[in-house]
Chains A and B, each alone.
Chain A
Amino acid sequence: EAGVTQFPSHSVIEKGQTVTLRCDPISGHDNLYWYRRVMGKEIKFLLHFVKESKQDESGMPNNRFLAERTGGTYSTLKVQPAELEDSGVYFCASSQFANTGELFFGEGSRLTVL
């Protein structure tokens, strides 16, 4: 069974440009999450989808970040325009249930904004 897959693994862009990160959850997992780790700091929650609906986006830093989950399958996280402080590793995770047990994480997408 395929795990959570993320693309790209690493992206380097200039300040002001746009980047779109993609996440494919484990098949059958209705719950999808985005987390972010800024260099050297803790991994922080960004948002939670149940199928195609945003359940909780309380962790999104500002309106330059837009997350979507078309048809309840894969999800994208767009940063537009990117700023230096957006650099970090963006993790996607999925789970069958939202309130117990384990989140299954992808390898992360490393974003470097120059």
Chain B
Amino acid sequence: AQSVTQLDSQVPVFEEAPVELRCNYSSSVSVYLFWYVQYPNQGLQLLLKYLSGSTLVKGINGFEAEFNKSQTSFHLRKPSVHISDTAEYFCAVSPGTYKYIFGTGTRLKVLA
């Protein structure tokens, strides 16, 4: 079985500051890793995904994440956030099937 932990339920950060949203997972098998974002009144949108290959994954809107197998982490980073990045971010894993296991989400609040 797999599990995903997003320890930070809320992260406030000032505009143009860097941010890191943490994600740790547990799995006895190899998994695919995902970050989704939900902007207010919108659906879940894929930010980036790790399937294989390079452990540094670049996504949309300047976000990137690094897969660390030894630490079972897939933290999301952005060097400089904008007000428009205010949203809820979800980390998810999949053992290669459609049954995604999601974390509880992290609300990013970008302050002016």
List residues of A whose CB falls within 8 A of some B CB.
3-4, 6, 31, 33, 35, 40-45, 48, 56, 59, 91, 93, 95, 98-108
Is there contact, CB below 8 Å, between B43 and A42? no
Is there contact, CB below 8 Å, between A105 and B43? yes
Is there contact, CB below 8 Å, between B102 and A48? no
Closest to A6 in B: B43
Closest to A40 in B: B104
Residue interface mask B74-112, A partner, CB < 8 A = 1: 000000000000000010100011111111110000000
CA distance A97 to B98 in the complex (A): 9
Chain B residues numbered 34-51 whose CB sits less than 8 Å from any CB in chain A = 34, 36, 41-46, 49, 51
Is there contact, CB below 8 Å, between B43 and A107? yes
Closest to B5 in A: A42
Is there contact, CB below 8 Å, between A99 and B44? no
Is there contact, CB below 8 Å, between A41 and B98? no
Other 5 A-B pairs with CB < 8 A, given A95-B98, A103-B98:
A43-B100, A44-B102, A45-B99, A59-B99, A102-B46
Closest to B99 in A: A45
